Amino acid sequence: MSRAEVDDELQTTPDCPLGVSGCRIVGELRLLREENRRLLDQLHVDNLTGLFNYRHFRESLEVEIARSERTGQAVGLLMLDLDHFKRVNDTYGHEVGNLALRHTAHLLRVGVRRIDIPCRYGGEEFIVILPAVGLRTAVQVAERVRKDIEASPFTGEDRQIALTASFGVDVREAGDKDDAEGFVKRIDRLLYRAKELGRNRVCHPPLGVRSENTQVSVDEKKLLLKG
């Protein structure tokens, strides 16, 4: 059962089996369902950063690809990796490294669009699903986050520690042959290219190669902004 299906299930409030008002059984069921919802949310959130986790990313990417095929609107992916993160851990310790990850997660959360889905991919890697986006806009989002990270050192061990990050960005258009796994591999290759070229940069296909048509219907916009 998917997370959405479980959420729908949890919305249902049963009638009292005894047919009385203020039923203790209904109250206990409600508390149980609220606890189930809390536990379910924990399965989709990274404990360290508060972003969505890898599991949520994989499920959401499949949903957004299906939405893209249905609406004809492209879906984008932005992957970033903190540069020389091992050096931060080795120099200052893992607690400071964790501060760096939380700091990056905050900048990512405030730097992307409201409809985007920021996730921790693993280690010092983060990934963002960008629904209904053209390549030019996806690159603009990545550049904004890159500049924010570069310009926003964090405090660790009573000193300011600077960070930079490398990015891979592309979009998957409706009708593309790539499945979710192939799409992620494409983004990963672009990220690797950014590292090869010297880090602290955004790598993407040439602008103009991909369609920039990102018009979204009213109904689709409501779904994208839900929650």
- Residues with catalytic annotation? 124
Q: Token pair 């409809």 is at which residue?
A: 115
